[in-house]
Every structure is written in structure tokens, then in C-alpha cells.
Chain A
Amino acid sequence: SQKIEQNSEALNIQEGKTATLTCNYTNYSPAYLQWYRQDPGRGPVFLLLIRENEKEKRKERLKVTFDTTLKQSLFHITASQPADSATYLCALGKYSSASKIIFGSGTRLSIRP
């Protein structure tokens, strides 16, 4: 069955460093992959989408890579700040209105000052 794994449940990073989160998947061939941010007691907020034919996508301090051979996406936050502390979810989707987006369980990122 389809499976998404996000590298660790929690990650602690020193402010200013680059945070790297991993999303691995099996038994699935997504057309695209998305990253969301979720703060405690709030709904997830869409951050970035990367298609299967794209290797890298950037948005301000965020960078996402997508390796369909390794079945892996890496999500980087450069020059991390305490305000970046949140849970980050990856999600996989296909080009079909009938298919559902599949979410990973999330990685809780903490940036310490």
C-alpha cells in the first residue's frame, strides 16, 4: 500500500542554520509533491508545490527538491528563525480529480535562538 514517511517526528535546529526535512514515499508515483506548514491548533498552510519533472523549486528562504528515482523530497529552510518553528507536512498528488492527496505524518521543527 502507499506509504509516506517524514524523516523524523521532531527536529531541533540552531537559529541561523539550514533546516532539512525529508519526505520518502513507496508504492506510489506522484505527479507532484507539496509541502505545508501547520502551527499548533491551526489548519495547514500551503507552501510549495513541485512537479515530477522539476528537480528543484525555491521560494524566498525555502527550497524543495524532488527525486523520483529515490522517491524522496527534501525541504530546506535556510537562515532558520524561531518563527519557522512549526510542523511541516509533505503531501503527494496525481493529475486526476478522482485521486486524493496523501499526507505524511509531519515533522515538528523547533528553531532555538
Chain B
Amino acid sequence: GAVVSQHPSRVICKSGTSVKIECRSLDFQATTMFWYRQFPKQSLMLMATSNEGSKATYEQGVEKDKFLINHASLTLSTLTVTSAHPEDSSFYICSARLVRGGLDTQYFGPGTRLTVL
């Protein structure tokens, strides 16, 4: 149980285009999902917290107009990188929060490798 999928796993796009990444919790409902970015050999960097039915909460330094987040249902959150540039190339990982017995565990998707040319 507690499986999270991401689509696509890899995307290559031209500079200036927008890219949408989907994150789905397959066998549980998640009112909260998280979006992370990870550069090579570095730790996960939290970008934003996605809340179902409300606006996302962005971390300091993350442009909300550039990284659009939509959490339209209890099993789907999307991250759209608008007007992507080469510096946006990174590994994007989502996670879905599952709270059981008061304990908060995040289940991660497999990640999306974005390359902007």
C-alpha cells in the first residue's frame, strides 16, 4: 500500500515552454502533497506544500507564478513549470502525506527528470 506515481518520468523541453508534472496517490487519499526539487548529490529541497481544495504554500525563494501547483482532488496534484529555462533543469519529486495513528509519513513518487534545453 501507499503507492505514489509521477508522470512523466522524464521530460526534455525547449526554453520558454511550460511543463506539467502529475503526482498521484494510487491507493490512498492525500489532502496534502509536497513538491521537492533535488540537484545532483544534494538533499531534497521543499518547494511547496499542496493542499487539496486550497492554495499551495510556497517556501521562501520559490516563485509561485513560475511553479504553479494545483491540487484538484484527493489523489492528484500537478506542478507546472511555466516558461522553463535551463536553470530549472532538475529532478522533481512529489510526496503524499499519510497520517495514521497520529504519525505523519510521506510516500514519495519516483521523480521526474526535467531537462530544459
Could you list which residues of chain A lie within 8 angstroms of chain B, going by C-beta atoms?
32, 34, 36, 41-46, 49, 51, 89, 91, 93-95, 97, 99-101, 103-106, 108
Tell whether B110 is near chain A: CB-to-CB under 8 Å: yes
Could you list which residues of chain B lie within 8 angstroms of chain A, going by C-beta atoms?
2, 4, 6, 32, 34, 41-44, 46, 49, 91, 93, 95, 99, 102-111, 113
Closest beta carbon of chain A to B102's beta carbon, Å: 5
Establish whether residues A89 and B43, one from each chain, have CB atoms under 8 Å apart when the complex forms. Answer: yes
Q: Considering only CB atoms, which chain A residue lies closest to B46 in the complex?
A: A100
Contacting B49 at CB < 8 Å: which of A34, A100, A104? A100
Tally of A-B Cβ pairs under 8 angstroms: 54
The CA-CA distance from A91 to B103 in the complex, in Å, is 13
The CA-CA distance from A97 to B103 in the complex, in Å, is 9
